[in-house]
Amino acid sequence: MNAPRIGVLALQGDTREHLAALREAGAEPMPVRRRSELDTVDGLVIPGGESTTMSHLLLDFDMLEPLRGRLAEGMPAYGACAGMILLASEILDAGARGRQALPLRAIDMTVRRNAFGRQVDSFEGDVAFAGFDVPVRAVFIRAPWVERAGDDVRVLASAAGHAVAVRQGPMLATAFHPEVTGDRRVHQLFVDIVTGEA
Ligand code: GLN
């Protein structure tokens, strides 16, 4: 397969690092801001940001149902942090008032937003990752964790007793931000999923 065309949802959040990481991992990346762009990509990265804001921008730009549709058809997707939250089938958010994040229901899992607590907003650590010889440096920023993973969901990494990286078929999600570390293995894994090599 030629370099796969992989979109990075660019309504809100950190897209630049994902575009660079995907290019280094051998993909042809492009920002996705509208439905016509969504229709042209072989896979999609949903970056970190604010899952509530991103959900409502998807609604405002008439992209929520088209994106759910492409995911239901099996378009590969990788969600990091807020992106992991959006890919879930159920979102727990005890403290939320007002607008809620809307699940895309691509991965059979329940995630908890801001799960690591308010005192420890951000932290990093080395995390073992299934299939990688050397642990990944995981950067968590107001990160979620997976509270329930369905039978078809494979846990790839855990921290604090909870899954923080999962895969279900062509869907990949991490609670942490590999795009900020220079380690391209997670993006490489996603590119390989898109090309059918992983
Ligand atoms: N706390 C954010 C949310 O709930 C996610 C933070 C992030 O993506 N770094 O959407």
Given a cut of 90, whether residue 24 has pLDDT beyond it is: yes
pLDDT tens string 31-80: 999 999 999 999 999 999 999 999 999 999 999 999 999 999 999 999 99
Question: Do residues 198 and 192 make contact, with C-beta atoms less than 8 angstroms apart?
Answer: yes
Mean pLDDT of 94-109: 85
Q: What is the pLDDT of residue 93?
A: 85
81 within ligand 1 shell (Cβ under 6 A): yes
47 within ligand 1 shell (Cβ under 6 A): no
The amino acid occupying position 162 is: H
Q: What is the mean pLDDT of the chain?
A: 95
pLDDT tens string 132-145: 999 999 999 999 99
For residue 48, the ligand 1 atom closest to its alpha carbon is 8
Task: Give the tokens for residue 61.
Answer: 């730009």
Share of the chain above pLDDT 70, in %: 95
Range of the domain at 60: 5-195
Task: Give the tokens for residue 9.
Answer: 């949802």
CA of 140 from ligand 1 middle (Å) equals 9
Share of the chain above pLDDT 90, in %: 89
- Binding-site residues for L-glutamine, please? 49-51, 113, 141-142
CA of 144 from ligand 1 middle (Å) equals 7
**What's the pTM?**
0.96
Q: Determine the Cα–Cα distance for residues 187 and 14; give it in Å rounded to an integer.
A: 15
- Give the residue numbers marked as catalytic: 81, 177, 179
Question: Residue 170's closest CA among 192, 145, 151, 185?
Answer: 192
Query: Binning pLDDT at 50, 70 and 90, where does residue 99 land?
Result: confident
Total domains in the chain come to: 1
Q: Determine the Cα–Cα distance for residues 40 and 30; give it in Å rounded to an integer.
A: 10
Q: What is the pLDDT of residue 175?
A: 98
Given a cut of 60, whether residue 119 has pLDDT beyond it is: no
What is the separation of C-alpha 168 from the centre of its chain, rounded to a whole number of angstroms? Answer: 12
The CATH number that applies at residue 49 is 3.40.50.880
Question: Do residues 112 and 74 make contact, with C-beta atoms less than 8 angstroms apart?
Answer: no
Q: What is the pLDDT of residue 2?
A: 82
